[in-house]
Amino acid sequence: MLDTATLATRTDEILAAHLAREGALLPILHDIQAEFGYIPQECLPQIARALNISRAEVHGVVSFYHDFREVPAGRHVVKLCRAEACQAMGADELSAHARAKLGVDWHETTPNGAVTLEPVFCLGLCACGPAAIVDGKLIARLDTAKLDAILGDLA
C-alpha cells in the first residue's frame, strides 16, 4: 500500500514535468501508471486541480482507455486479442478457455495475485492469430495447449 505523502509528492513531481505541455493529461496518466502500476484514486483530485479540470473529466479519461488501471495488476499481465481476425482463428474459444482456467473475467486478477487477464483489440498479428501479449512479449498462433503452458509457467 502506498503512503499518502509519497503518493502526493511523486504525483506533484510528475505533474510538474508535464504542466507546460499542451494536452498534458494523457502523458501524466501514463507516467503515474508507470510509477505506481495503476492510477490511484487519490491522485485524481490532485491531477484535476493542477490541470484546472474536474475530477469527473480525469476519471472519464482513466475509465475510457483500456490500458489504464484503477487497481494494481497481478505479477503477470496476459492480454488476449479480441479483434475480428483473431476471432476468426478461434480467439473466442481461447478467451473462454483462459477465463475458465484462471477463474477470472476480463480486467480481473487471480486470487493469488499472479495473473491479470485483459482484452486487447488488435496487435497487428492478424495473419498469425490468435495472438496475445504476455508480460509485454508478443505471442502468435496461440492455441489452448500453448496458452495452458504459458499460464502454468506464470502461476
Q: Please give the model's pTM, rounded to 2 decimal places.
A: 0.80
Q: Are residues 103 and 148 located together in one domain of the fold? A: yes
The DSSP-derived string for the chain is ---HHHHHHHHHHHHHHHTTSTT-HHHHHHHHHHHHSS--TTHHHHHHHHHT--HHHHHHHHHHSTT--SS---SEEEEEE-SHHHHHTTHHHHHHHHHHHHT--TTEE-TTS-EEEEEES--S-GGG-S-EEETTEEE-S--HHHHHHHHHHH-
Number of domains in the chain: 2
Q: Are residues 9 and 32 located together in one domain of the fold? A: yes
Q: Are residues 89 and 54 located together in one domain of the fold? A: no
pLDDT in tens, the chain (155 residues): 678 888 999 999 999 999 999 999 999 999 999 999 999 999 999 999 999 999 999 999 999 988 899 999 999 999 999 999 999 999 999 999 999 999 999 999 999 999 999 999 999 999 999 999 999 999 999 999 999 999 988 87
Q: Are residues 48 and 82 located together in one domain of the fold? A: no
Q: Are residues 95 and 147 located together in one domain of the fold? A: yes
Q: What is the pLDDT of residues 27-51, one digit of tens each?
A: 999 999 999 999 999 999 999 999 9
* Grid cell of 119 as nine digits: 482484452
Single out the residue in 32, 64, 96 at which a domain terminates: 64
Would you call 153 exposed, middle or buried from its count of C-beta atoms within 10 A (0-12, 13-18, 19+)?
Answer: exposed
Q: Are residues 50 and 83 located together in one domain of the fold? A: no
Does 97 map to a domain? yes
Does 69 map to a domain? no
Does 93 map to a domain? yes
pLDDT of residue 1: 62
Q: What is the CATH number of the domain that holds 145?
A: 3.40.30.10
Helices 25-36 and 55-64: crossing angle in degrees, nearest 10, is 70
pLDDT of residue 2: 72
Which residues constitute the domain of residue 10?
4-64
Q: Are residues 23 and 82 located together in one domain of the fold? A: no
Q: Residue 87 in contact with residue 56, Cβ under 8 Å?
A: no
Q: Are residues 82 and 150 located together in one domain of the fold? A: yes
Q: Are residues 13 and 80 located together in one domain of the fold? A: no
Tell me how far apart the terminal alpha carbons of the chain are, to the nearest angstrom: 23
Single out the residue in 31, 64, 97 at which a domain terminates: 64
Q: Are residues 84 and 148 located together in one domain of the fold? A: yes
